[in-house]
Amino acid sequence: MDLFEYQGKQYFARHGIAVSAGGVAVSVEEALKQAELAQYPVVIKAQVQVGGRGKAGGIKLANNADEVRTHATNILGMDIKGHVVKRIWVEHASDIAEEYYASFTLDRSAKRHLLMLSAQGGVEIEQVAVTDPTAIVKLHVNPIEGLSLETARRAVVDAQISQKAVDGVAAMLVKLYECFTKGDCDLAEINPLILKPNGEVHALDAKVTLDDNAAFRHPEWDEYRATEELDEREKLAREKNLQYIGLDGTVGIIANGAGLAMSTLDVVNQVGGSAANFLDIGGGANAELMTAALEVINSDTKVKSIFINIFGGITRGDEVAKGIVEAMKRVKLRAPIVIRLDGTNAVEGREIIANAGIDESQLISRSTMLEAARVAVELAGKK
Amino acid sequence: MAIFVNENTKVLVQGLTGGQGRFHGLRNRDYGTQVVAGVTPGKAGQDVEGIPIYDSVDAAVIATGATASFIAVPPKAAPAAILEAARAGVSFIVCITEGVPAQDEARVFATLQRDFPKTRLLGPNCPGIISPGKCNIGITAGEIAALPTSTGPNVGIVSRSGTLTYQALYELKQRNIGVSTCVGIGGDPVPGTSFVDCLAEFQADPETHAIIMIGEIGGTAEEEAAEFIMTHVKKPMSAYIAGVTAPAGKKMGHAGAIVSGGKGTAQGKMDALRSAGVKIGLNPTEACELMAQIVAGF
């Protein structure tokens, strides 16, 4: 789960990382209040999970209440690359002497944590990686040893960060690492990490991605869930506990297993169609689950056909078939289903479907993935 | 021969008294696997359909001589269960648990590497391993796997995805191609066993004549495999990479399956494997057809 900047800053603050005084606002009145608390001058920042906010006019400096009113009015409701601004963050404007970059991620290939640090902050790190790769210091951290202040200090010196900022940045790296590990982040990034003229360092931005698998030990994440930006289909799927990702195509997809679901998307694309979604129904494809999955797919008005791709391993084909037939009694579908049923008890399953008394134009059975994909794409019309 | 597990492997199940552990543990035994013990703290002395339960992995190993563990416990308990098995001297651990936090996986991996370098962990979040006719640990339905023949050619399978593993097993069976061992390494960010580990074993296994590899988007495991294949794998291979059409920035079901920052794309992985001499199928069926052609040439 990706956090908004303000949530990331609050998360940082929880782990002792210095951030600017500020608060979140959903209205102009609230923005004025937050500005008073943070003290002028303030910066007003659109809270959207997309890059390029500044260029789009989503970040403005305000020296007084009138300017806050003007900017907050403009920014709230603004559309930034398809993301509508619902919240703004109002914080005390910082004097900046220098800007750095720092992040922790997991290096999957090394199976170690990875610190990336650069004296060139405030710009996209991918860009620095291309134009001046030596400007980024990369340091692997063994997860069972952790990051010591001495090691952090060495990295800061290696990154050629100003002498006067070395201690401050090193201390912040240790805190950021704590936040990354104890806070169960997939990514904890500060860009820019700033040095103020008075010698203090602090996080001027925050990019945090949380590991959904760790939610069970972080009850405090519930508030982040509440603000997550999901489309209507994704909200419905979450309520039903389905692994669903909305896409833009016309063939609705239901498959058992993440790999098979991904593969189903590929095959649909390969025969000239486009998938409306990714949906992994998991192991127990019973009537209950199948009904829920079909309801979610049915709520997507772009869907012109539905491709159910099931490979029976432990999941039995006859049970899946019963589930589909039962679900079709419960949900009135707007689009026909093409089903490919293979593996354990597939023959019995196909029989159940053939004998269910459902109009053959509404429930079409094919024995291979490719054939089924072709029929589904034909029914949906080519992309 | 087979890799990692064979007819002599003695398996204990951590969590045998739970729903998943019981269901799959008993299925594994029915398949012919030597399931010799279960471990559930506080339930020593009980049994699950004749399989004795012990309080600790240590006790189970001492009593039964188990060498492998099948872990089917919830995500909160999985890291401790893995380390308990390693401490008790279990050399091969299969953890099917889905939803283990990445930070825990990284710590467990580093601990195994430092303190138990001889212990091999498969998973977490994997379907397990089957050496057809000999040993099945995990959730694979044994009946979809074709037995290897003594004369060959037999195929080894290694995959990140569960259902695509089954799909490959099934397609090979339909084409009467024997399987030496099929390993599901799992779809998480820090798998205990990698493609490279399995490819090295398959290359060394006289019963394996060709290899199918099924990868997916995210990470660089397939690229590392391609590099290894170029220098170390002499046996012919076919492969399929799932997620050609996956949008960037979205986790496709598996915690590890995500294209981010232009890295981990299916195209990049296919290109890398292709230049290592691997035949690439654009869907699982095609990869198995390519394997059938390879096998026909033996």
Q: Which of residues 208-227 of A touch B (CB under 8 A)?
A: 211-214, 216-217
Q: How many CB atoms lie within 10 A of CB B298?
A: 10
Interface with chain A: mutation pick from B76, B103, B172, highest number of A CBs within 10 Å? B103
Structure tokens given for A173: 């790296």
Q: What distance in Å separates residue A145's CA from the closest CA in chain B?
A: 9
Kindly report the nearest CA distance between residue B84 and chain A, in angstroms: 17
Average pLDDT over all residues of chain B: 95
Q: Tell me, what's the pLDDT at B80?
A: 98
Exposed e or buried b per residue across A159-198, where buried means at least 16 C-beta atoms within 10 angstroms of its C-beta = bebeeebbebbbbbbbbbbbbbbebbbbbbbbbbbbbbee
Q: Which helix (H) or strand (E) holds B188?
A: none
Range 46-75 of A in CB contact (< 8 A) with B: none
Query: Does residue A367 or residue A369 have the better pLDDT?
Result: A369
Q: Distance between CA atoms of A265 and B250, rounded to whole angstroms?
A: 14
Phi (first) and psi of residue B86, to 5 degrees: -65, -45
Interface test with B, best of A113, A245, A262 (most B CBs within 10 A): A262
CA distance from start to end of chain B:
19
Q: Are B122 and B11 in contact (CB under 8 A)?
A: no
Exposure pattern of B59-69 as b/e (b: 16+ CB <10 Å)? bbbeebebbbb
- CB B244 within 8 Å of CB B215: no
Query: In chain A, which residue's Cα lies nearest the Cα of B195?
Result: A109
């552990």: which residue's tokens? B21
Give yes or no for B114 touching A (CB within 8 A).
Answer: yes
A243 interfacial to chain B (CB closer than 8 Å): yes
One DSSP character per residue, B127-147 reads: -EEEETTTEEEES--GGGSPP
A268: nearest CA partner in chain B: B245
Burial of A114 (0-12, 13-18, 19+ CB in 10 A): middle
pLDDT tens string A304-343:
999 999 988 777 888 889 889 988 988 899 999 999 998 8
What are the structural domain ranges in chain A? 21-92, 98-224, 232-380
Encode burial over A201-212: b for 16+ CB neighbours within 10 A, e otherwise.
Answer: bbbbbbbbbbbb
| B37-91 tens-digit pLDDT | 999 999 999 999 999 999 999 999 999 999 999 999 999 999 999 999 999 999 9
Quote the tokens at residue B111: 């601990």
Question: Which of B245, B250, B286 is the best substitution to test chain A (most A C-beta atoms within 10 A)?
Answer: B245
CATH architecture of structural domain A232-380? 3-Layer(aba) Sandwich (3.40)
Contacts of B104 in chain A (CB under 8 A): 214
Rounded CA separation A267/A374 (Å):
9
Torsion angles phi and psi, residue A360, rounded to 5: -65, -20
Contact at CB, B163 and A270, closer than 8 angstroms: no
Minimal CA separation from A27 to chain B, in Å: 30
Coil, strand or helix at B196: helix
The verdict on A148 touching B (C-beta cutoff 8 Å) is no
Q: What are the backbone dihedrals phi and psi of residue B160, each rounded to the nearest 5 degrees, phi first?
A: -90, -20
Residue of B nearest to A244 (CA): B253
Q: Does residue B245 sit in helix, strand or coil?
A: coil
Give how far A284 is from chain B: nearest CA, Å: 12
Q: Residue A122 burial by CB count (10 A; 0-12/13-18/19+): exposed, middle or buried?
A: middle
Q: What is the pLDDT of residue A130?
A: 87
SS3 content of chain A, % helix, strand, coil (to 5): 40, 25, 35
Task: Check residue B261 and give its pLDDT.
Answer: 73
Task: Tell me the C-alpha distance between A362 and B125, whole Å.
Answer: 36
d(CA A256, CA A281): 5
Q: What is the pLDDT of residue A382?
A: 58
- B283 lies within 8 A of chain A by CB: yes
Smallest Cα–Cα separation from A339: which of A350, A347, A328?
A350
pLDDT at B182 over 80: yes
Q: Do B283 and A370 touch (CB under 8 A)?
A: yes
Task: Report which DSSP code applies to A214.
Answer: G
For residues A220 and A208, is the Cβ–Cβ distance under 8 A?
no
What pLDDT does A263 receive?
96
Q: Can you list the positions of beta strands (E) in A220-336?
A: 243-246, 251-255, 277-280, 305-312
Q: Going by DSSP bridges, is the β-strand pair B34-39/B51-54 parallel, antiparallel, or unpaired?
A: parallel
Same fold, A21-92 and A232-380: no
Regarding the domain delimited by B145-296, which CATH topology (the fold level of the hierarchy) does it fall under?
Rossmann fold (3.40.50)
Cβ B139–A342 below 8 Å, yes or no?
A: no
Domains in chain B: boundaries: 10-122, 145-296
* A126 at B interface, C-beta within 8 A: yes
Residue A11 binned pLDDT confidence (cut-offs 50, 70, 90): very high
Confidence (pLDDT) at B249: 82
Tell me the pLDDT band of B228, cut-offs 50, 70 and 90: very high
Q: What is the pLDDT of residues A242-301, one digit of tens each?
A: 889 999 999 999 999 899 999 999 999 999 999 999 999 886 667 788 889 999 999 999
**Element holding B162 (H helix, E strand):** helix B162-174
Among A225-239, A363-377, B190-204, B210-224, which is the least confidently predicted range? Answer: A225-239
> If phi over 0 gives left and psi between -120 and 50 gives alpha, with beta otherwise, what is residue A122?
left
Domain A98-224 belongs to what architecture? 2-Layer Sandwich (3.30)
State mean pLDDT over A340-353: 88
pLDDT at B109 over 90: yes
Contact B298, B177 (CB under 8 A): no
Is the Cβ pair A112, B159 closer than 8 Å? no
Give the per-residue pLDDT at B129: 98
Looking at the complex, does the CB of residue A279 fall below 8 Å from at least one CB of chain B?
A: no
A86 pLDDT above the threshold of 80: yes
Phi, psi dihedral angles at A270 (to 5 degrees): -60, -35
Q: Which candidate from A144, A211, A342 shows the least CB-CB separation from B111?
A: A144
Closest-CA residue of A relative to B192 is: A111
Catalytic residue check, B209? no
Higher pLDDT, B250 or A351: A351
- What is the distance in angstroms between the Cα of A181 and the nearest Cα belonging to chain B? 6
Across the interface, do A344 and B141 touch by the CB < 8 Å criterion? yes
User: Is the CATH number of domain A21-92 3.30.1490.20?
Assistant: yes
What tens digit of pLDDT does each residue of B250-288 get? 888 887 888 877 789 999 999 999 999 999 999 999 999
Neighbours of A127 (CB within 10 A): 10
**B101 closest CB neighbour out of A112, A211, A270:** A211
What is the distance between the alpha carbons of residues B196 and B217, in angstroms, rounded to a whole number?
A: 17
Helices and strands, number each (H, E), in chain B: 9, 14
Burial B6-29 (b: 16+ CB within 10 A, else e): eeebbbbbbbbbbebbbebbbbbb
Cis peptide before B41 (omega within 30 of 0): no
B163, B190, B244 ranked by CB distance to A260: nearest? B163
Minimum Cα–Cα distance from A114: chain B residue: B106
* Closest CA in chain A for residue B214: A259
Q: Tokens 């999970």 appear where?
A: A49
Q: Which of residues 305-334 of A touch B (CB under 8 A)?
A: 311-314
Q: Is the Cβ pair B252, A261 closer than 8 Å?
A: yes
Q: Which CATH architecture has domain B10-122?
A: 3-Layer(aba) Sandwich (3.40)
Distance of CA B143 to the CA centre of its chain: 17
Q: Is residue A245 within 8 angstroms of chain B, CB to CB?
A: yes
- Per-residue CA distances from B142 to A315, A349, B95, B128, B153 (Å): 13, 20, 18, 11, 20
As a whole number, the mean pLDDT across chain A is 93
Q: What whole-number percentage of chain A has pLDDT above 70? A: 99
